[in-house]
Structure 1
Amino acid sequence: MALYKDQFNGRYDFPVYEGAARKFVVIASTGRSGSHMLGHVMHETGAFGAPFEYFNLENLLEWKRIFGARSTDDVIHRLMAKRTSENGVFSMKLHYSHLLRFGGIDAFMERFPGARFIMLERQDVLRQAVSTVIARQTGVWIAGQEGSGQKPVYDAAAIDKALGEIILDTASWRYDLSTRGLRKAELRFEDFCGDVPGGIQGIADFCEVNLPTLPETPVTTKQSGAINAEWAERFIRENAGGSLIRRRWELLKRLV
């Protein structure tokens, strides 16, 4: 994934926060689930810090360079000073694979005790998988990001692979959060887009955070277009999926 340069812009900083944050909020997401838009809307409230993708490897390495930091823990300490809102809330966006930076969910919770999770999902996971493949081919994950200039080419196998990854990562989030009894609220991206003020208020209520302001509309640009719908329809029409289920079906037959 290409570096998201805007994340490092000082306009997302808050006045220097002394000491550790009092509350942690995590957008538990998968790729192309709408987490970028949600993070920006949460930042606009002034009550959730700046919930961006700090622990994507490329972003983390850039933060280390900016801070002159040697460890992830050093980066966290510096980020919390810059990106904790005045009410003591520090938030972040995590894909499941980012837990590797901490050694898994248990080590993550030791570093961020009491963290509350907003589990964000898309209803149409096939369109999400298509969007993932297009982003991987073009290098453009976020509107305005510099890409490779490559024109996207339909690839059924890549869509099927991305679909399986999304399903498995979502299940992994559910397993970890449920088996540890961690506090989570589920949010469907399509529902959030239909009622941004209500969605943000619901997150604030769950996190026990008072909102000084309530955004009315999304603050980022939608990327999907006609090609996303065309690829999804073609994938269904050609019955190009099913490898994940076929593998599971073969395993179940061996167990009978």
Structure 2
Amino acid sequence: MLTGLDTGYEGKFDFPRWRGPPTTPWMLATVPRTGSTWLSHGLWATGCLGAPLEYLNFEAGGPYTFANGAPSLQQELWRSLLARRTSPNGVFGVKCFPAQLEALVAANPPLLDDVLALLLPRGGPKRIVYLVRRDRDAHAASYARATLSGVWRKEQERDGAAPAYSADAVDTAMRWIDAQAAAWEAMFRDLAVTPLRLCYEDALADPEGTVAEVAHYLGIAIDPAAAIPVPSIEKQTRDPAWSPRTGRASAG
């Protein structure tokens, strides 16, 4: 977790307390390095679409590391988040990676049951926005570079040598991305869910249109008066050595 920096998980960014279950729960399904943090903050800033952050991220370095290995605390935290992160119109969003749900299978099945009952109810509406990145080469390069450097956000960048381009790391990242994408597609098929599919490149080109598309999919009207300040997300510095074309050439 970043220190000395507002990430959005701080209590000062909570909505007024919501009582009862959210009326419009939804999931932002994605994999790392798709621009999902940037998009989630843009949706959150409307004040009408919940605050779809990684509320099931208990791994080391994540926002809720303190709950790692503590199933009862994780369930208590989840219940608290439902009350604090549901927007005043009843919308609750959560961003998920496949690995986070898979971790709950082994570590906390009761919490997984609660999450799925809310987001994927039997016989009820299943609202999933699925974000991908069209440029697979750039996606894999970004994923590999972040994995090697440990730098996942602009604010983590420090002076010093960046990791050298690694074709092996990029190939590994591509396999990880493909495996996670396959996991989402399998879930969509098994649950007969038709998600709203978005591409990062399209969202970047038309942020307002993307927000409107998500709101329409969820059946939510955006009230301009409900807009709220949220932490900004800066684009990371581009390293020419890690551009797919340059990297492959330099790697021989």
Matches within 5 A, 1:88-99: 88-99=90-101
TM-superposed deviation, 1:10: 2.6
Q: Secondary structure at the match of 2:92?
A: strand
User: What number of residue pairs does the alignment pair up?
Assistant: 233
User: For residues 135 and 56 of structure 2, what CA distance do their matches in structure 1 show?
Assistant: 26
Decide whether aligned partners of structure 1 residues 52 and 145 sit closer, same or farther in structure 2, where only a CA change above 3 A counts: farther
- Structure ranking higher on relative contact order (CA contacts 8 Å, 6+ apart): 2
Matches within 5 A, 1:104-183: 107=113, 108-112=115-119, 113=121, 114-145=125-156, 151-183=162-194
Decide whether aligned partners of structure 1 residues 136 and 147 sit closer, same or farther in structure 2, where only a CA change above 3 A counts: farther
| Kept in 2: contact 1:23–1:115 (CA 8 A) | no
| Kept in 2: contact 1:139–1:147 (CA 8 A) | no
User: For residues 48 and 128 of structure 1, what CA distance do their matches in structure 2 show?
Assistant: 27
More deviation, 18-27/104-113: 104-113
Decide whether aligned partners of structure 1 residues 23 and 102 sit closer, same or farther in structure 2, where only a CA change above 3 A counts: farther
- Percent identical among aligned pairs is 27
* Deviation per residue, 1:30-82 (Å, 9 max, x gap): 110010001000110001221111222233644639xx983322211011111
What does residue 75 of structure 1 align with?
A: 77
Decide whether aligned partners of structure 1 residues 14 and 69 sit closer, same or farther in structure 2, where only a CA change above 3 A counts: farther
Question: 2:44 matched to 1:31?
Answer: no
| Kept in 2: contact 1:142–1:223 (CA 8 A) | yes
Decide whether aligned partners of structure 1 residues 146 and 53 sit closer, same or farther in structure 2, where only a CA change above 3 A counts: farther
| Kept in 1: contact 2:56–2:100 (CA 8 A) | yes
TM-superposed deviation, 1:188: 0.6
| Kept in 1: contact 2:144–2:169 (CA 8 A) | yes
TM-superposed deviation, 1:19: 1.3
Tell me how large the CA RMSD over aligned residues is: 3.0
TM-superposed deviation, 1:98: 1.0
| Kept in 2: contact 1:30–1:166 (CA 8 A) | yes
Question: 2:16 matched to 1:15?
Answer: yes
User: For residues 63 and 86 of structure 1, what CA distance do their matches in structure 2 show?
Assistant: 28
Decide whether aligned partners of structure 1 residues 47 and 167 sit closer, same or farther in structure 2, where only a CA change above 3 A counts: same
Q: Secondary structure at the match of 2:96?
A: strand
User: For residues 149 and 71 of structure 1, what CA distance do their matches in structure 2 show?
Assistant: 39
Gaps of 5+ in 2: none
TM-score (norm. length: structure 2): 0.81
| Kept in 1: contact 2:9–2:63 (CA 8 A) | no
User: For residues 141 and 127 of structure 2, what CA distance do their matches in structure 1 show?
Assistant: 30
Decide whether aligned partners of structure 1 residues 150 and 9 sit closer, same or farther in structure 2, where only a CA change above 3 A counts: farther
The AA in structure 2 aligned to 1:127 is A
TM-superposed deviation, 1:166: 0.6
Decide whether aligned partners of structure 1 residues 224 and 183 sit closer, same or farther in structure 2, where only a CA change above 3 A counts: farther
User: For residues 219 and 206 of structure 1, what CA distance do their matches in structure 2 show?
Assistant: 25
What does residue 227 of structure 1 align with?
A: 240
User: For residues 240 and 250 of structure 2, what CA distance do their matches in structure 1 show?
Assistant: 16
Q: Secondary structure at the match of 1:103?
A: helix
User: For residues 142 and 203 of structure 1, what CA distance do their matches in structure 2 show?
Assistant: 25
TM-superposed deviation, 1:163: 0.7
